[in-house]
Structure 1
């Protein structure tokens, strides 16, 4: 019976147990030619008896590989948390591991990217990056890059995103089917996906013979609360499509605080289907992205680019509508 060891078993320990050199142990464990059958058997038996496990990280570094995908995520973006969860599931059972670096109001995206490159990641997965096209093009020329949740044509990077245009159309069509005729979009400004959601909203409203109405918003609850004040400065709309769930939650709170009932007075739709949408106090109708599919495709794109397969089309994942408690049929009688 092998006694408990305070220190991890090393290759030198295996060599001593097998009565061979450390170099020969390395040859056997790497599976390369150069050891006799007898020596190979002795080394493998010694490794098994000592429960020896090679240092995978050291082996990879020695080969010039790290098998690590660097992920830049928004520290205060709830949907990014769901994407990270899905990314970990996507690499489970593969040789690949994730290294995370956040961006925030006080830590810009380039700082997170530099930190990952310093850690010798083999590819970058950028969640909803805010960097400009030129900066991303330059980055893509240096290291394999996959952009998630942002449309980015004509840039040397893989792109995996939700069909934001189609998602906005789903939301508007749902509201129109409920009988609403004045549907306002609280948009996301220059945030990733915002332009596509605006386009989908405008197209769906115009196709119904109605006039688009846009109110400046953003990606957090404070933006939603500010938008509510603008919406209620005049006659309130019948329905609102918010840029995302966080914005919608801020709208919901502010509308209710001002005595506007949701959905009896105003129907409200968010975007993302993040964890906040399913809270019983929110119960938000929303357009769901598919974080599991986005993550699977992002990992596949990153690995393919590391291996030299860069001629790949963008991956666009279909959204779906999740109907909860913030939308209902039109209560007003006027047309």
Structure 2
């Protein structure tokens, strides 16, 4: 005969098979009614201190968690911010970490949707809208302004690291134009005039960087010596583009790559071609990602501060979401451009991590 008390017999083992523990499970295990468990979990009057303590103890033992999302949806709220990011971009990983921290501090959760080779940005956005997110943060958005305006008619939208001017959604980015100026000035001051910009046509930020590169080179008096080559935002694209570019422009002594990933490909391919970095070819990237500090790379790079970008993005999207919930009149789109700085390392002839700030 089993040595189990009647009270224990009423207490089921924690549900298996991955099933979520429910209030009914807690009620059965605690030997109380489900309405009493609901009272305790909602932290409202109606339960004695002893009953409250007992129910909470059983709930903790079973691993019960309140379904906050369902509770919020019943109130017409999800307190959920959707984040669209590009899976191939390491810098977006850093941004996601900071966005999650900032959202949590504001009392919101996040839901992620990746842009991949097989899923575009529009599809990732649709997936998040299906989860009833209250706002969207788009990292490196590439959709045009009319498309984003239509999405912003449904939920508040903030783009990060993409510059727009719409009155219907917000954006925050680092100062791409000033960053490009700093890169050109830095290389020119070190004696380089045959500078190559390795762009990424169609990728957010490239248009501004390309235009500013031409302007900064002209201002430095080297407009006739520079070159612009279409590359891409990946290591492979950077490696392939620099191999071709050095055949077309063999006198090139310095490269400004669209981002750190592209710059990493440039450095690797240049070394395979017998070029010394920085003695034969100085290299500058964008993002100042974690990869830029790798000992074998030590990449000079324009810094984008993920904490600043995330803080601003969450502040703007939550501000719009809360304003909508209060029925306030929609405000005009806000577009912030944050200051950038050039972190100088050995890939461009620097030593250590010196910093040249934007003004």
Q: 1:185 aligns to what SS in structure 2?
A: strand
Q: State the match for 2:247 in structure 1.
A: 232
For normalisation by structure 2, the TM-score amounts to 0.80
Aligned partners of 1:256, 1:189: CA distance in 2, in Å? 25
Q: Closer, same or farther in 2 for the Cα pair 1:247/1:51, shift >3 Å?
A: same
Q: State the match for 1:290 in structure 2.
A: 305
- The reply on whether 1:207 has 2:219 as its aligned counterpart is yes
Q: State the match for 2:355 in structure 1.
A: none
Aligned partners of 1:199, 1:143: CA distance in 2, in Å? 33
Aligned partners of 2:241, 2:67: CA distance in 1, in Å? 54
Aligned partners of 1:179, 1:19: CA distance in 2, in Å? 81
Q: State the match for 2:338 in structure 1.
A: 317
Aligned partners of 2:258, 2:83: CA distance in 1, in Å? 24
Q: State the match for 1:242 in structure 2.
A: 257
For normalisation by structure 1, the TM-score amounts to 0.86
Q: State the match for 1:328 in structure 2.
A: 349
Aligned partners of 1:17, 1:279: CA distance in 2, in Å? 55
- 1:40-79 superposed matches below 5 A: 44-45=52-53, 47-51=55-59, 54-79=66-91
Q: State the match for 2:282 in structure 1.
A: 267
Q: Closer, same or farther in 2 for the Cα pair 1:16/1:41, shift >3 Å?
A: farther
* Cα distance, 1:100 vs structure 2: 0.7
1:194-250 Cα deviation digits (max 9, x unpaired): 112123322222221220421222211222123212233333212111111111111
CA RMSD of superposed structures (Å): 2.8
Moved more, 304-313 or 130-139: 304-313
* Cα distance, 1:85 vs structure 2: 1.8
Aligned partners of 1:205, 1:40: CA distance in 2, in Å? 76
Unaligned runs of 5+ in 2: 1-6, 16-20, 325-329, 351-359
Q: 1:174 aligns to what SS in structure 2?
A: helix
Unaligned runs of 5+ in 1: 330-335
Moved more, 227-236 or 280-289: 227-236
Equivalent residues of 2:159, 2:171 under 8 A apart: yes
Q: 1:180 aligns to what SS in structure 2?
A: coil
* Cα distance, 1:272 vs structure 2: 0.7
Aligned partners of 2:179, 2:153: CA distance in 1, in Å? 32
Aligned partners of 1:49, 1:240: CA distance in 2, in Å? 63
Aligned partners of 1:16, 1:216: CA distance in 2, in Å? 65
Aligned partners of 1:76, 1:114: CA distance in 2, in Å? 20
- 1:90-169 superposed matches below 5 A: 90-169=102-181
